Amino acid sequence: MSLRIGIVGTGRTIGVASDHLHGIQANPGWILSAVYDIVPDNAKQWIQQHNLASALICSSLEELLDKVDAVVICTDNLSHGTIAREAFKRKLPVLCEKPLSVDYHESKKLAEEAAAVGVVNYMGMQYRYHPYAQLIKEIISSGELGDIFSYRHKLGGGRIGNPNVGMEWRMKKETSGAGAVADFGIHQVDLIHFFLHETCGEITSVQAELATFIQARQSEGASAAPVTNDDIAVVIARLENGAMITLNNSRLLPQDGDGIEIVGTKAAISMDQHGRLFLRKKNADGSWSGEREELEIEERHKFLGLARGKQYKEFYEAVKNNQPHELSFAYAAQAARVIDAAVLSSQEGRRVSISEIE
């Protein structure tokens, strides 16, 4: 059964909608039937860039909603809620980009509304479908690492590390919510849950420092305007079993140092900036082995159309069977709760329990 899907927000800065197109095209069950962007030129350019028919372009959100069986939201974080609510009025399933909204409060409200309407709501948190994440999950589930006590993840991008990149919606608290800590942190919190919740439990508390190093950006046709959210964040978190987490998020650094390290009582797995994975085991006497083994990504770790392809396969199955998916708005709201705890921790200079965030 083919289902019609429409994309709202074709893109201007990163243009994540293009990734979604690849995911849709990897799944014959979906047919891209409509696109809408509040800036008509963005939609026109996007259609040309991807050699698609200009007839797909709608001149309003309502027109798009009339033409589809499901909606994808790829706009700035603030507008996710308004668009999702319009879709819910028509009982249309929604795939929304992360973060769900600008903070936990708004995300929770949206999650509750989605649950009340009873349509499939699904989040664009695709990192767990990357081959490296599948391999790491497999190693952790096999018990090869032993009891995990340390987890470190640095994630970021360098595009806006150039201070000459002008003001974007993501640099303003009102349209983005928190900055780097949410942008990358939502993915990190999702991966921590995916990898560790069965063995180590959930995140119980956080301690964070957020900072803004590029404090003003040029606005179109205006003088420089202030950046009102963080561009670098460091978060320390604890899991239920006491495991120590350190997260580093940045919009400014080169990606050379990106990577993950997960350490247990028997072995450690790490991923370097090139995406190469290594396993280092402990010797019988408890010391670390001098050798590390490079792990191979196998076919079983790869999905058709890679992470976005798998995302659209999961979304299709959920919609076709009208069944909720784990990557729901409610799940995203819980991730937003951890991010809000990090923001509060940085503001108040203290450790914050996740249960404090209501």
Ligand X SMILES: NC(=O)c1ccc[n+]([C@@H]2O[C@H](COP(=O)([O-])OP(=O)(O)OC[C@H]3O[C@@H](n4cnc5c(N)ncnc54)[C@H](O)[C@@H]3O)[C@@H](O)[C@H]2O)c1
**Which positions lie near ligand X, rule CB under 6 A?**
8-16, 36-39, 42, 74-77, 79, 97-98, 124, 126
Tokens 């978060």 belong to: 235
**Radius of gyration of the chain, Cα coordinates, nearest whole angstrom:** 21
Least distance in Å: CB of 262 to ligand X?
Answer: 21
Q: What's the CA gap between 301 and 126, in Å, rounded?
A: 14
Least distance in Å: CB of 18 to ligand X?
Answer: 8
At 332, is the secondary structure helix, strand, or coil?
helix
**In b/e form, how buried is each residue of 78-92, taking b as 16+ CB within 10 angstroms?**
bbbbebbebbbeeeb
Q: What's the CA gap between 102 and 116, in Å, rounded?
A: 21
Least distance in Å: CB of 302 to ligand X?
Answer: 18
Least distance in Å: CB of 211 to ligand X?
Answer: 20
Least distance in Å: CB of 194 to ligand X?
Answer: 15
Nearer to ligand X, 187 or 238 (CB): 187
Closest C-alpha among 210, 1, 14 to residue 98: 14
Q: What's the CA gap between 71 and 84, in Å, rounded?
A: 8
Nearer to ligand X, 192 or 352 (CB): 192
Q: What's the CA gap between 46 and 29, in Å, rounded?
A: 22
Nearer to ligand X, 126 or 248 (CB): 126
Residues recorded for the chain: 358
Residue 321, H or E segment: none
Nearer to ligand X, 100 or 120 (CB): 100
Bridge partners (DSSP) of residue 264 are 148
Nearer to ligand X, 126 or 199 (CB): 126
At 323, is the secondary structure helix, strand, or coil?
coil
Nearer to ligand X, 84 or 139 (CB): 84
Nearer to ligand X, 77 or 248 (CB): 77
From the number of C-beta atoms within 10 Å of its C-beta (0-12, 13-18, 19+), residue 296 rates as exposed
Least distance in Å: CB of 333 to ligand X?
Answer: 15
Closest C-alpha among 270, 273, 272, 271 to residue 281: 270
Nearer to ligand X, 59 or 241 (CB): 59
Least distance in Å: CB of 103 to ligand X?
Answer: 14
Least distance in Å: CB of 70 to ligand X?
Answer: 16
Pair 116, 211: CB distance under 8 Å? no
